[in-house]
Amino acid sequence: MLFDTHVHLNARQFDEDREEVIKRAQEAGVDYMVVVGFDRETIPLAIEIAESHDNIYAAVGWHPVDAIDMEESDLGWIEELSAHPKVVAIGEMGLDYHWDKSPAEVQKEVFRKQIELAKKVQMPIIIHNREATQDIVDILKEENAEEVGGIMHCYSGSVEIARECIEMNFYISLGGPVTFKNAKKPKEVAEAIDLDYLLVETDCPFLAPHPNRGTRNEPAYVKLVAEQVAELKGISLEEVGQTTTRNAFKLFKLDQ
């Protein structure tokens, strides 16, 4: 039993063989997934995929790299979609200082607006962070994001910051990098953080885990992430699968 909490099956990289990829995931024991839509093109397809598959859900938000393109009407659209029965979270949202398409100030404003929206509709948020850890933690605090909580997706920070995020009602989601030989921090986090606060994800088609690094990632590979977490913790794959799935159910309010 596995729950891939962050997939982009709505990416064009899957246009040719989307259904086969979903079937392979099911065969690998990936029973549940959340497809993340983050702009005008990827959101409708995330909804469509979630509507046509029983155990696939959707998240809707605006990516920080494209913050500059977001208009007021997009925020209204995201709010409308939050009422859709298959939508379980708002995001991904956050800050990305690696690419310079959107100025930091614009990113911060778009991030704050989405946190505000999530609090209004009472849904958890999915956080994308690239080279912006301190500003993200500050904004989450200032906006009182603790009220809704959510996911630090593809977490690559320190154990210390992870604990700070958990204090704010966030789960720590580990992806492909935890399997990379040179990725010290995600391995430390997998070891130190209690399984009750961890999730697993692929972020496919990006960041394929070892030994598939550099190829197109897909949800079936979340098993490699879970296996690595199990090995680092000295527990079984089953336990990692069951507990992280239970965590995701609780977070996305699927168990009610």
- Please report, for residues 3, 36, 199, 210, 239, the alpha-carbon distance to residue 245 in angstroms, rounded to integers and kept in the order given: 5, 17, 8, 22, 10
Instruction: Rule CB under 5 A: say whether 173 interacts with Zn ion.
Output: no
Number of residues that bind Zn ion (CB under 5 A): 3
Contact between 173 and 128 (Cβ < 8 Å) = no
What are the residues whose beta carbons fall under 8 Å from the beta carbon of 158, sequence distance 6 or more? 185, 188, 189
Minimum CB–partner distance for residue 11 and Zn ion (Å): 9
Task: Give the end-to-end CA distance of the chain in Å, rounded to a whole number.
Answer: 19
Cβ closest to Zn ion, residue 92 vs residue 218: 92
Element (DSSP H or E) covering residue 89: strand 87-96
Cβ closest to Zn ion, residue 99 vs residue 196: 99
State which of residues 108, 128, 187, 223 lies at the interface with Zn ion (CB under 5 A): 128
Instruction: Rule CB under 5 A: say whether 60 interacts with Zn ion.
Output: no
Minimum CB–partner distance for residue 130 and Zn ion (Å): 8
Instruction: Rule CB under 5 A: say whether 187 interacts with Zn ion.
Output: no
Binding residues for Zn ion restricted to 72-111, rule: CB under 5 A: 92
39 alpha-carbon distance from chain centroid: 15
Minimum CB–partner distance for residue 8 and Zn ion (Å): 6
d(CA 129, CA 146): 17
Task: Candidates 65-73, 165-173, 174-182, 198-206: pick the segment binding Zn ion (CB under 5 A).
Answer: 198-206
Binding residues vs Zn ion (CB under 5 A): 92, 128, 203
